[in-house]
Amino acid sequence: MTREAVIESSADVVAVRRLVRSAAIEVGLSLIDQTKIITAASELVRNALVYAGRGELRVDVVENGAKRGLRLVVNDEGPGIPDIEQALTDGWTTGTGLGLGLGGSRRLVDEFDLLSKPGQGTTVTVTKWAR
Amino acid sequence: MDRVPILKLGDLLIVSIQVDLDDQSVLVLQEDLAAAVVSRGAKGVIIDISAVEIVDSFTGRMLATIAAMCRMLDAHAVVVGMRPAVAITLVELGLSLGGVRTALDLEKGVALLNHVGGTAR
Ligand SMILES: Nc1ncnc2c1ncn2[C@@H]1O[C@H](COP(=O)(O)OP(=O)(O)O)[C@@H](O)[C@H]1O
Ligand SMILES: [Mg+2]
């Protein structure tokens, strides 16, 4: 079942954490993997909120043979990221954060894909498979 | 917005985070705590996160900031009750919280503060 959320405020970020938790439980992720994917979701939707002012999240249950997983797509129509490698570097920030959101999220999931172009927004897709 | 209550116990302040805080509430808690350390002359601050299910880089930074702030205000901070899944996730996220003292539970946190603070209660 697909779930969707719009992120326009910091309360929406809290709501996303709740939504991703219930989807992660439904798909059978372990407690640690639930915690990891919720944390990644929190980082990615906060980025959409902070850097683009608004974003959207789509949550899908995905299957690969006998494996089930959770796929999150976080999308915004903000300024985009000029240098993706740099943005993924730990400690790199153009804001006031710790610069760990993107690099950290990539480590917390099994699959990570970042699409972004200046002026054309940013889409981050992450997947966590149940073990 | 949720305002987290700050309890006073002797010269300690105790904060127990019981709900999933939005970023705004996290910043308010940080400011409230700084003010309370000074106005109540606290020597120690205990932040109980045993009910907290996730700590991301924003909340993690708050914990580090509170610890640093306490040091500058002549107090000690201890984070107690971190869940194992939260600890594993924080390390993978890249936040090892090096400057933050931790204890497994509230009782051990109080004992630690009594030890490092050398205060008699
Ligand atoms: N959705 C986004 N839109 C535009 N820029 C972004 C977005 N997400 C991340 N960035 C850029 O990448 C940098 C690193 O992001 P991140 O690793 O989350 O650290 P932080 O948010 O603490 O700066 C940000 O400072 C910002 O410049
Ligand atoms: Mg970020």
Q: Which domain CATH number covers A34?
A: 3.30.565.10
CATH number at residue B23: 3.30.750.24
Q: Which residues 101-130 on chain A approach chain B with CB closer than 8 angstroms?
A: 101, 103-105, 107-108
CA distance, residue A37 to nearest chain B CA (Å): 9
Ligand 1 in reach of A58 Cβ (< 6 A): no
- Residue A37 belongs to domain spanning: 2-129
CB B86, CB B52: distance < 8 Å: yes
Task: State pTM to two decimals.
Answer: 0.96
Phi, psi of B101 (to 5 degrees): -75, 140
- B78-109 residue pLDDT tens: 999 999 999 999 999 999 998 999 999 999 99
Distances (CA, A) of A62 to A2, A37, A41, A106, B110: 10, 14, 17, 18, 46
The reply to whether ligand 1 has any atom less than 6 angstroms from the CB of A102 is yes
Could you tell me if residue B119 is inside a domain? no
Atom 18, ligand 1: residue with shortest CA distance: A101
What is the strand order of the sheet B76-80 is part of?
A: B6-9, B12-16, B44-48, B76-80, B101-103
Number of domains forming the structure of chain B: 1
Report, as an integer, the average pLDDT of B38-59: 97
Give the pLDDT of residue B1: 83
Q: Which of A75, A84, A102, A105 to mutate to test the pocket of ligand 1 (most atoms within 8 A of CB)?
A: A102
Of A7, A27, A28, A2, nearest in space to A17 by CA: A7
**Which pair of tokens denotes residue A36?**
């990891």
Range of the domain at B26: 6-114
With 90 as the cut, is the pLDDT of residue B115 above it? no
Residue B118 · residue A61 · CB < 8 Å = no
How far apart (Å, rounded) are the C-alpha atoms in residues A121 and A85? Answer: 16
Q: A115 in ligand 1 pocket by Cβ < 6 Å?
A: no
| Within a domain: B120 | no
CB A105 less than 6 A from any atom of ligand 1: no
Please name the helix (run of DSSP H) or strand (run of DSSP E) that holds residue B90, with its range, or none. Answer: helix B84-93
Query: Considering every ligand atom, which ligand is closest to the CA of A87?
Result: 1
pLDDT in tens, A38-77: 999 999 999 999 999 999 999 999 999 999 999 999 999 9
Q: In one letter, which amino acid is A27?
A: V
Is B121's pLDDT higher than 50?
no
A69 token code pair: 């997983």
Q: Do B93 and A90 touch (CB under 8 A)?
A: no
Q: Give yes or no for B23 touching A (CB within 8 A).
A: yes
Whether B1 maps to a domain, the answer reads no
Q: What is the ipTM of this complex?
A: 0.95
Q: Is B119 an interface residue toward A (CB < 8 Å)? A: no
Q: Give the number of domains in chain A.
A: 1
Residue B78 belongs to some domain of the structure: yes
Count of Cβ atoms closer than 10 Å to residue A10 Cβ: 20
